């Protein structure tokens, strides 16, 4: 135990100080992520139809798709910090605009823009963590970021549930305030991160050329393509935890409280177990760790096809969370090793795009299958998991090497002992 604690202390004591700003900001931002989990309930209370609510949520998802790609591009061009500030500050304003919206078109438009601006942030934040850390530091850095976010997620919804009973406006104001506070922290304390120098010429042609260059590199980077395919399939499986699982839990005679406890188990396990577990999983080859994690996720979701008691759901949810804790932090490290430094943002934008797309497809597809086959439809989860792992370990993994040294600005690379750069 002493050895484990010393190892953890050494890992986190060596991280650059700005990484801890990202931890704190991630907690604040996710704690204040009040609106989206309660948006359907709020719109229902305002008397809007279920069809309109579904369209508004779909508009938010469509915005997230656009924001994922745009955020990755902006992270490489205007810089990680500027992209994060743009995302957080814009979302703060648009969340209030969503509350004010009083027509169907305005609701859909604001939901789209909230989704877009909200998804500008993740690729830039992940790229900045990679910019500021060495290869050895990245696993603890990404684990720390996940723990901070999950701590905020564990506490935030309870606060949101209390706020909405007082006044719906407080729900929106609290969300906006958390985004604004994080934006100010980013602006005050974080470096720019790596940025690609803009060549002279028409800005639209330059932007298109940058996108084409990244697209061409990803086409030749077969290992990255296989990872994205494997991740996308796994995200679809992961998304069965939401609306489909709620229906399955209810159909087995369990209560909403039981469902809430199942969701809470995920955050609790991550907070208590992911940090010590990462000391062991980081020693595994990255693809092996991802394979083990994705496999456990698929097996757990497949087991739900046969679960009928609360105890069975708890055990399977614990196995699912174990798979998540093994694979997700290593995935973040792994994809950063596959991306050329000057294209890191655009690569991570595609990673976020696969999450957004899986998030749009997974829940409605699960509900559709559940209506026809009941919970037994989840026996396909291990099949999807096997396909995902097969894609990850496919042949032909050679990739084109790209040297980015001459195209990078190094003004924001932060060493362990360095201080935060002035703006």
Sign of CA dihedral 17, 125, 210, 118: negative
By three-state DSSP, how is residue 196 classified? strand
Type and span of the H or E element at 408: strand 408-409
DSSP class of 304: G
Block residue for tokens 């684990």: 143
Which among 323, 325, 327 is positioned nearest to 276, based on CA atoms?
325
Q: b vs e for 306-340, b when ≥16 Cβ sit within 10 Å of the residue's Cβ? A: ebeebeebeebbbbbbbbbbbbbbbbbbbbbebbb
Do residues 19 and 422 make contact, with C-beta atoms less than 8 angstroms apart? no
d(CA 343, CA 348): 9
DSSP class of 411: T
Backbone angles phi, psi at 46, to 5 degrees: -85, 0
Type and span of the H or E element at 195: strand 195-196
> Would you kindly state where each structural domain of the chain is located, as residue ranges?
15-409
Type and span of the H or E element at 189: helix 168-189
**In a structure prediction context, what are the per-residue pLDDT tens digits for the chain, which is 423 residues long?**
777 888 888 888 889 999 999 999 999 988 888 888 788 878 888 888 878 888 898 899 899 999 998 999 999 989 999 999 999 999 999 999 999 998 999 999 999 999 999 999 999 999 999 999 998 899 999 999 999 988 887 788 778 878 888 898 999 999 999 999 999 999 999 998 887 776 666 667 777 778 788 888 898 999 999 999 999 999 999 998 877 888 898 899 988 788 878 877 888 899 889 989 998 998 899 999 999 999 999 999 999 999 999 999 999 999 999 999 999 999 999 998 898 888 889 999 999 999 989 888 888 889 889 988 999 999 999 999 999 999 999 843 444 443 333 333 333 333 333 433 333
Q: b vs e for 18-37, b when ≥16 Cβ sit within 10 Å of the residue's Cβ? A: bbebbbebbbbbbbbbbbbe
DSSP 321-381: HHHHHHHHHHHHHHHHHHS-GGGHHHHHHHHHHHHHHHHHHHHHHHHHHHHHHGGGGGGHH
Do residues 320 and 256 make contact, with C-beta atoms less than 8 angstroms apart? no
Residues 6+ apart with CB under 8 A from 180: 88, 89, 92
336 beta partners: none
> Class assignment of domain 15-409?
mainly alpha
């Amino acid at each position: 135990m002493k050895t484990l604690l010393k190892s953890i202390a050494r890992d986190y004591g060596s991280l650059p100080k700005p990484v801890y700003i990202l931890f704190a900001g991630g907690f604040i931002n996710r704690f204040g992520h009040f609106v989206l989990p309660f948006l359907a309930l709020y719109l229902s209370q305002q008397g809007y139809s279920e069809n309109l609510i579904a369209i508004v949520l779909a508009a938010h998802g469509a915005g997230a798709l656009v924001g994922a790609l745009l955020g990755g591009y902006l992270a490489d061009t205007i810089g990680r910090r500027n992209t994060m500030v743009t995302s957080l500050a814009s979302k703060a304003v648009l969340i209030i605009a969503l509350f004010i919206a009083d027509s169907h078109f305005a609701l859909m438009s604001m939901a789209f823009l909230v989704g877009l601006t909200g998804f500008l942030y993740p690729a830039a934040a992940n790229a900045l963590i990679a910019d500021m850390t060495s290869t050895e530091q990245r696993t603890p850095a990404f684990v720390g970021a996940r723990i901070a976010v999950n701590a905020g997620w564990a506490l935030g919804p309870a606060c949101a549930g209390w706020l909405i009973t007082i006044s719906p406006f407080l729900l929106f104001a609290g969300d906006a305030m958390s985004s604004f506070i994080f934006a100010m922290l980013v602006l005050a304390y974080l470096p720019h991160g790596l940025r690609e120098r803009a060549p002279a010429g028409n800005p639209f042609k330059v932007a298109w050329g940058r996108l084409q260059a990244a697209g061409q590199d990803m086409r030749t980077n077969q290992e990255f393509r296989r990872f994205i395919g494997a991740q996308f399939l796994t995200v679809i499986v992961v998304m069965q935890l939401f609306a489909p699982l709620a229906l399955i839990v209810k159909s087995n005679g369990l209560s909403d409280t039981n469902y809430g406890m199942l969701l809470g188990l995920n955050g609790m396990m991550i907070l208590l177990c992911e940090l010590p577990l990462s000391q062991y999983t980081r020693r595994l080859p990255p693809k092996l760790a991802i394979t083990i994690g994705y496999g456990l996720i698929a097996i757990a979701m497949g087991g739900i096809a046969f679960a009928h008691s609360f105890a069975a759901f708890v055990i399977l949810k614990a196995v699912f969370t174990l798979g998540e804790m093994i694979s997700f932090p290593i995935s973040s490290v792994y994809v950063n090793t596959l991306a050329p430094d000057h294209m890191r943002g655009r690569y991570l934008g595609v990673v976020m795009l696969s999450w957004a797309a899986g998030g749009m497809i997974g829940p409605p597809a699960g509900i559709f299958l559940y209506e026809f086959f009941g919970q037994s439809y989840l026996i396909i989860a291990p099949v999807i998991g096997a396909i995902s792992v097969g894609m990850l370990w496919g042949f032909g993994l050679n990739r084109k090497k790209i040297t980015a040294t001459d195209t990078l600005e190094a003004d924001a690379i932060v060493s362990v002992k360095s201080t935060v750069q002035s703006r």
